[in-house]
Chain A
């Protein structure tokens, strides 16, 4: 079903894609059970049976979709984000501020504090409605900061009392004359934080991407990423393509150019809502080739981009030169990493990519931990079945756990895996846990690190830096204790609690 941009609220990932957050088994089984297998004609038989989600008796920790949406709106320059919420929702903005400065340093931008205001709703507002306070805050934000765009992020509280945020935003937009973009962030709507990407991308698609049919630029390619250094230009410039990098704090001009590009690629299919929407609304083709993790996938990714943008005559030379350039160091890394056992923990398509990278480097990966699983993507194209592609090209992952950062489940999964090292996103949970279990860990904050040919080198070098620190991690383990019973400390089934019920 196409993306519905007529309604101000994005449909949740669970509804659109059938996203799950709890599962355990082999990667091959998960790929087979996911909807993508239906009718795709691959080696999985008829497939397409309904994906059965496991349940967990409790959650220890998680994250809110609101944080993803609000953080990614706040870091866009020349904007102000208004969180229409009780003050607690604004607690994540200290992270946003640090993130914004770090991004600025890495991208060579002038470091400045991002601007956001919380309406600080209280008891009175819950009873009498908070839209007047919101209207005043929008006016204040405009007068104080003169932004070019104001985002208004809703909250659980305003969602329940039914504040008419869309109506207020529209009224104020007329009054102050700049776009006021509502982001419907009620955390209770989705069980997974990645829905926050859909929320911000929905807002961008609806309001910040003008239709510019006369400004088509055949050399421009949109790259949607989570944030971090631009590793894409070195890869795509040799094809004569100019990169329009969006999200990750990139400016409004970049968003305004989205509809003029020749194609869009997404560095992680978890973010592909925007790419699919651009194809649907403006006819900008979405590159659907499997993501560029590992040599063959990187080759094919470049070939697909070249095909769609009409540069096939250039691509083989670029591929050959890239391969030749990294070959000596790749050989060295493979020799040093041979026989090592890695454990990957990351979000869906990104986890699949890291597993492919590690396997390309000669690392054994029998265990992985994905923060959620999307059985489909918005395009519905089986080409984007990154898990199926991983299994098909590099083999099964014996123990593939889906769990949203649950510490107790990750503990059991790591106990089962006994890896030589862990490579992970979300360092607050996974990296700290692995370290306290005495396992060398490579936390990745900027998820572009593993992309393309250079990504293999970046990841390989980083692992080699981490492996010799085993003694340090063993010391950390010796001084760590977990709040679990003895049985759980020995448990190797992340879902043993469900089995016991």
Chain B
């Protein structure tokens, strides 16, 4: 009997750096000697490209579209440091049902015992944006991921998405679903950004597991089709990702999230908006003086 891998889901608003962060966590874990699978749950099927030298892999749903009987192992590709890369895939924008796509892909791998057979230490799901429908909640339901982390910047829209995710997790937590591990604060370069995200974390009693600064090293690595861990292993940024990966590897206790209600969230962002305006006024006044 193979051991049960630690299963982690990483959610966050589109474009926030979720796949970049996830791929770097996978790369850092693999570098540390763990057996890792990264499972992209986004119809764009581009979660694992930086683990594969910028190359796209055929998705589970691509295979299902080609033939009726699919060996799910055909959708598993090895990437950097032996990481197993899988993309759920999904329909083109505007057609079909991307949520159902995730249900179908995850179910197929589970039924064919792919996770057990590969004898993995970690499965990391990289899941698109908001939990817009039941399909996107599949990785946080019972029997799949145990811990959820959300990637968020100090941008209000990203925080809204994180709060929405908390609500989704809270819903499933009664029925044995995943629990919240914490926030990965991404692209945080100023004290001001740090204050916003820390305040949100405090209001929702959520730990921030790591601050990840915005860095040109990441962009350069991405453009060469690689993770920072692979392209710039000696960089400071790579060490940030390694610290994050260590934290996640050692993470044991997640909790039921306590999201803000719609009104609380609105009031909270309004108070920050006012604060920002006052600060800018003060800044301008200083400049004039």
B12 is an interface residue with CB less than 8 A from chain A? no
A166 touches B100 (CB 8 A): no
Chain B neighbourhood of A11, CB < 8 A: 111-112
**CB of A94 closer than 8 Å to a CB of B:** no
Residue pair B176, A164 in contact (C-beta under 8 Å):
no
Q: Encode contact with A along B59-102: 1 for CB under 8 Å, 0 otherwise.
A: 00000000011100000000000000000000000000101100
- Complexed CA–CA distance, A11 and B103 (Å): 13
Chain A residue, CB-CB nearest to B104 = A189
Complex Cα gap A9–B110 (Å):
10
Beyond A4-B113, A18-B69, whether A170 also contacts B135 by CB under 8 A is no
Contact present for A164 and B100 (CB under 8 Å): no
Looking at B18-26, B136-144, B227-235, B265-273, the stretch in contact with chain A turns out to be: B136-144
Within 1-46 of A, Cβ neighbours of B (below 8 Å) are at: 1, 4, 6-7, 9, 11, 14-15, 18
* Residues from chain B with Cβ under 8 Å of A147 in the complex: none
CB-contacts of B107-147 with A (<8 A): 107-108, 110-113, 133-138, 141-143
Cβ-defined contact, A15 with B97, below 8 A: no
B69 CB contacts on chain A under 8 angstroms: 14-15, 18
**Chain B residues positioned under 8 Å from A170 (CB to CB):** 142, 175-176
A56 to B142, CA, bound (A): 40
Query: Does any Cβ of B come within 8 Å of A129's Cβ?
Result: yes
B113–A164 CB distance below 8 A: no
Which of A97-105, A154-162, A381-389 interfaces with chain B? A154-162
Contact A162 B68 (CB under 8 A): no
With beta carbons under 8 angstroms apart, the residue of A6, A14, A164 that contacts B134 is A164
Look across to chain A and name the residue whose beta carbon is closest to the beta carbon of B108.
A15
10 residue pairs bridging A and B, Cβ less than 8 Å apart? A4-B111, A7-B111, A7-B143, A14-B69, A15-B69, A161-B99, A162-B136, A162-B138, A164-B137, A167-B141
B172 within 8 A of A: yes
- Cβ B141 vs Cβ A164 within 8 A: yes
**Cβ of A163 < 8 Å from any Cβ of B?**
yes
Residues B172 and A164 in contact, CB atoms below 8 Å apart: yes
Quick one: which of A7, A9, A160 contacts B100, CB cutoff 8 A? A160
A164 to B134, CA, bound (A): 7
Residues of B near A191 (CB, < 8 A) are: 68
Is there an interface contact between A167 and B134, defined as CB atoms closer than 8 Å?
Answer: no
Q: Give the size category of B's interface with A.
A: 20 to 34
Using known A-B contacts A7-B107, A14-B69, A15-B70, determine if residue A162 contacts B100 with beta carbons closer than 8 Å: yes
Is A166 a contact of B141 with CB atoms below 8 Å?
A: yes
Across-interface contacts of B110 in A (CB, < 8 A): 4, 6-7
Are B134 and A163 closer than 8 Å at their CB atoms? yes
B132-178 contacts to A, CB under 8 A, are: 133-138, 141-143, 172, 174-177
Q: Which of B100, B108, B138, B177 has the most CB of A within 10 A?
A: B100
Q: How far is the CA of A170 from the CA of B173 in the complex (A)?
A: 12
Evaluate contact between A167 and B177: CB separation under 8 angstroms. yes
Question: Which residues 169-199 of B have a CB within 8 angstroms of A?
Answer: 172, 174-177
How far, in Å, is A121 (CB) from chain B's closest CB?
13
**Closest Cβ neighbor of B64 among chain A residues:** A15
Closest to B107 in A: A9
Which residues of chain B come closer than 8 Å to A129, judged between CB atoms?
A: 134
Which A residues are CB-close (under 8 A) to B108?
15
Complex CA–CA separation, A26 to B174 (angstroms):
56
A residues less than 8 Å from B100 (CB atoms): 159-160, 162
Assembled-state Cα–Cα distance A1/B107 (Å): 16
Task: Known pairs A11-B112, A160-B97, A164-B175; list 20 more (Cβ under 8 Å).
Answer: A1-B112, A4-B113, A7-B111, A7-B143, A9-B107, A9-B111, A14-B69, A15-B70, A15-B111, A160-B100, A161-B99, A161-B134, A162-B100, A162-B103, A162-B134, A162-B137, A162-B138, A171-B174, A171-B175, A191-B68
Q: With an 8 A cutoff between CB atoms, is A168 at the interface?
A: yes
CB distance from A49 to the nearest CB of B (A): 15
Residues of the B chain whose Cβ atoms lie less than 8 Å from the Cβ of A159? 100, 103
> What bracket does the count of chain A residues touching chain B fall in?
20 to 34
Q: CB distance A167 to B103 under 8 Å?
A: no
Which A residues are in CB contact (< 8 Å) with B172? 164, 167
Interchain CB contact under 8 A, B107 and A167: no
A162 close to B135 (CB less than 8 A): yes
Cα–Cα distance between A6 and B135 once the two chains are bound (Å): 20
> Which residue of chain B has the shortest Cβ distance to A8 in the bound complex?
B143
Chain B hits for A162, CB < 8 A: 99-100, 103, 133-138
Residue of B nearest to A172 (CB): B175
Q: With a CB–CB cut-off of 8 A, which chain B residues contact A7? A: 107, 110-111, 143
CA distance A160 to B133 in the complex (A): 10
Q: Which A residues lie within 8 Å of B134 (CB)? A: 129, 161-164
Inter-chain CA distance A261–B177, complex, in Å, is 37
Interface string of A167-188 (1 = CB under 8 A from B): 1101100000000000000000
Bound-state CA distance A105–B43 (Å) is 54
Shortest Cβ-Cβ A-B pairs, 5 listed: A162-B134, A167-B175, A11-B111, A162-B135, A7-B110
Q: B136 contacts which chain A residues (CB < 8 A)?
A: 162
CB distance from A94 to the nearest CB of B (A): 30
Least CB distance from B236 to A in Å reads 41
CA distance A282 to B230 in the complex (A): 49
Minimal Cβ-Cβ distance residue in B for A127: B133
Q: How far is the CA of A267 from the CA of B28 in the complex (A)?
A: 55
- Chain A residues within an 8 Å CB radius of B176: 167, 170
B138 / chain A contacts, CB cutoff of 8 Å: 162
Contact partners of B70 in chain A: CB under 8 A: 15
Give the shortest distance, in Å, between B90 (CB) and chain A (any CB).
Answer: 13
Taking CB atoms, residues of chain A closer than 8 Å to B174 are 167, 171
Write the chain A residue with the least CB distance to B138: A162
- A166 proximity list for chain B (CB < 8 A): 141-142, 175
Asked whether B68 lies within 8 Å of A14 as measured between CB atoms, the reply is yes
Interface string of A117-129 (1 = CB under 8 A from B): 0000000000001
Chain A residues with CB under 8 A of B133: 161-162
Question: What 0/1 readout, one digit per residue, does chain A (240-253) give for beta carbons within 8 Å of chain B?
Answer: 00000000000000
A contact residues around B113 at 8 Å (CB) = 1, 4
CB neighbours of A167 from chain B (8 A) = 141-142, 172, 174-177
- In the complex formed, the residue of A with least CB distance to B113 is A4
What CA separation (Å) do A159 and B99 show in the bound complex?
10
Docked complex Cα distance between A163 and B100 (Å): 11
Q: Smallest distance from the beta carbon of B178 to chain A beta carbons, Å?
A: 12
